[in-house]
């Protein structure tokens, strides 16, 4: 049954019928797709029938792979249920489902050490299916209003290993739930928002990008005006509270947070190091890797782990031109040597370069006269695409 609240069909009926016929030729039971559903796939592929058909065939394989018909019977791991931020807030005054997300509250490293990648993906599919089945049961508009609260979102979070998993999940949802977004309100956008958007925009259709609206200081008033206070917790300008008076409505919306190490999987305390460089640091020796930075406000990011025993590391800077007439280029310590248990929990970090020059990540094993160390590391530099200036508050330390 077609949803009576949906927007009118935007695509010519002939295109929808052509897609339906092509699916039949491909031996697909087209009766499982409403005209509106087919229209969404067409819109997401710029009304290209061939591309829409290919995407639907991929979507059917996606449904089989993740056993979508039975996914709501899956017992969600406690760490995901408790520490993945976001949740369904309520129904807007126009009938749309409202979802509030707080990605700055996520402990990406903790999640990658506490849950299998497949379970992290499955949980987001589970949430999507649960929400859209509820929408369907209410005969509500088949799109959602997303409130994306970027408070506490830092550079360290953006460059933490594991972010690639979240981007992969976003791509999966964009491909398999096309035209799911009615509008996205971004609030509390930090100065690094251009970098955040730069990371996600390749995964979004132009139509989705155009639905993103960044709100200013009066965002609470705007949210209430557009959504209605009955669908928003008090913290976001509405009237909702939990029974205990909690203005965040944590019974509905997870606020994430740091994951206790007790949740860490004992056999999975590592990053995906397939793209890392492996080196051996002999006993009593130092190993270093240097990056030349051409532009100020470039961002260094690193991650590493050792297969056994701890290691000392630090970050150092040397200008690319002599600072004195003698021609000396004095080295400066940016992050003093620290000894970390990277064999137990992987280490990562970011640094915003205030000046061009040479930046060296140095690993020190001089204190060990017995054990050499096998080190897996990644050290990268990203140049700014615009004129961005960041301070220590953006770092996340």
Residue 182: CB atoms within 10 A of its CB come to: 18
Q: Is the pLDDT of residue 234 over 60?
A: yes
Beta-ladder partners of 144: 97, 181
pLDDT of res. 264: 87
1 — pLDDT class (breaks 50, 70, 90): very low
153 — pLDDT class (breaks 50, 70, 90): very high
Q: 76 and 220 share a domain? A: yes
What is the per-residue pLDDT across 29-43, written as a single tens digit (0 to 9) for each?
A: 999 999 999 999 999
pLDDT of res. 370: 87
Q: Identify which has the larger pLDDT, 346 or 16.
A: 16
Which of 5-19, 74-88, 156-170 comes out lowest in average pLDDT? 5-19
Query: Domain for residue 344, yes or no?
Result: yes
Domain containing residue 211: CATH number: 3.40.525.10
Mean pLDDT value across residues 360-381:
93
Query: Domain for residue 270, yes or no?
Result: no
Q: Identify which has the larger pLDDT, 165 or 105.
A: 105
% of the chain at pLDDT higher than 90: 71
Mean pLDDT value across residues 215-230:
97
Mean pLDDT value across residues 285-308:
92
Q: 76 and 210 share a domain? A: yes
Q: 101 and 227 share a domain? A: yes
268 — pLDDT class (breaks 50, 70, 90): low
Q: Return d(Cα 235, Cα 247) in angstroms, integer.
A: 5
Q: Identify which has the larger pLDDT, 268 or 3.
A: 268
Say if strands 357-364 and 311-318 run parallel, antiparallel, or are unpaired.
antiparallel
Q: Is the pLDDT of residue 253 over 80?
A: yes
pLDDT of res. 2: 41
Mean pLDDT value across residues 176-197:
94
Q: 43 and 108 share a domain? A: no
Domain that holds residue 256: 68-263
Mean pLDDT value across residues 317-328:
69
Q: Is the pLDDT of residue 395 over 70?
A: no
Query: Domain for residue 366, yes or no?
Result: yes
Q: Is the pLDDT of residue 301 over 60?
A: yes
Three-class secondary structure assignment of 131-162: HHHHHHHCCCCCCEEEEEECCCCCHHHHCCCC
| Number of domains within the chain | 3
Query: Rounded mean pLDDT of the chain?
Result: 89
Q: Which helix (H) or strand (E) holds 50?
A: helix 49-65
235 Cβ contact list (under 8 Å, min separation 6): 247, 248, 249
Task: Catalogue the E-assigned strands of the chain.
Answer: 87-91, 97-101, 144-149, 181-187, 212-214, 277-281, 286-293, 299-306, 311-318, 332-340, 347-352, 357-364, 373-382
Q: 243 and 374 share a domain? A: no
136 — pLDDT class (breaks 50, 70, 90): very high
Q: 18 and 142 share a domain? A: no
393 — pLDDT class (breaks 50, 70, 90): very low
């Amino acid at each position: 049954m077609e949803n009576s609240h949906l927007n009118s069909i935007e695509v010519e009926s002939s295109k929808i019928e052509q897609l339906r016929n092509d699916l039949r030729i491909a031996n697909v039971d087209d009766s499982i797709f409403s005209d509106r559903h087919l229209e969404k796939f067409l819109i997401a592929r710029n009304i290209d029938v061939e591309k829409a058909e290919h995407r639907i065939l991929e979507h059917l394989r996606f449904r089989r792979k993740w056993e979508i018909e039975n996914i709501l019977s899956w017992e969600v791991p406690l760490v995901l249920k408790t520490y993945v931020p976001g949740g369904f807030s309520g129904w807007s005054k126009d009938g749309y489902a409202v979802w509030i997300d707080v990605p700055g509250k996520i402990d990406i490293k903790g999640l990658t050490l506490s849950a299998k990648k497949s379970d992290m993906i499955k949980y987001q599919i589970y949430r999507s299916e649960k929400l859209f089945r509820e929408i369907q049961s209410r005969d509500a508009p088949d799109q959602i209003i997303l409130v994306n609260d970027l408070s506490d979102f830092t550079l360290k979070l953006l460059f933490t290993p594991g972010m690639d998993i979240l981007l992969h999940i976003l791509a999966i949802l964009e491909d398999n739930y096309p035209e799911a977004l009615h509008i996205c309100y971004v609030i509390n956008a930090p100065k690094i928002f251009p970098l955040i958007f730069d990371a996600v925009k390749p995964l979004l259709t132009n139509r989705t990008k155009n639905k993103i609206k960044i709100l200013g200081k009066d965002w609470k008033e705007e949210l209430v005006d557009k959504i209605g206070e009955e669908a928003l917790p008090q913290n976001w300008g509405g009237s909702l509270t939990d029974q205990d008076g909690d203005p965040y409505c944590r019974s509905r919306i997870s606020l994430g947070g740091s994951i206790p190490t007790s949740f860490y999987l004992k056999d999975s305390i590592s990053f995906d190091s397939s793209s890392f460089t492996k080196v051996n640091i002999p006993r009593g020796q130092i190993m270093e890797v240097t990056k030349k930075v051409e532009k100020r406000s470039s961002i260094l990011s690193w991650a590493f782990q050792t297969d056994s025993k701890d290691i000392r590391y630090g970050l150092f800077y040397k200008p690319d031109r002599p600072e004195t007439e003698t021609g000396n280029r004095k080295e400066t310590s940016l992050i003093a040597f620290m000894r970390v248990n990277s064999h137990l929990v992987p280490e990562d970090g970011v640094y915003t370069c205030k000046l061009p020059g040479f930046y060296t990540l140095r690993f020190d094993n001089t204190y060990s006269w017995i054990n050499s160390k096998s080190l897996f590391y990644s050290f990268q530099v990203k140049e700014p695409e615009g004129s961005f200036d960041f301070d220590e508050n953006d770092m996340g330390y």
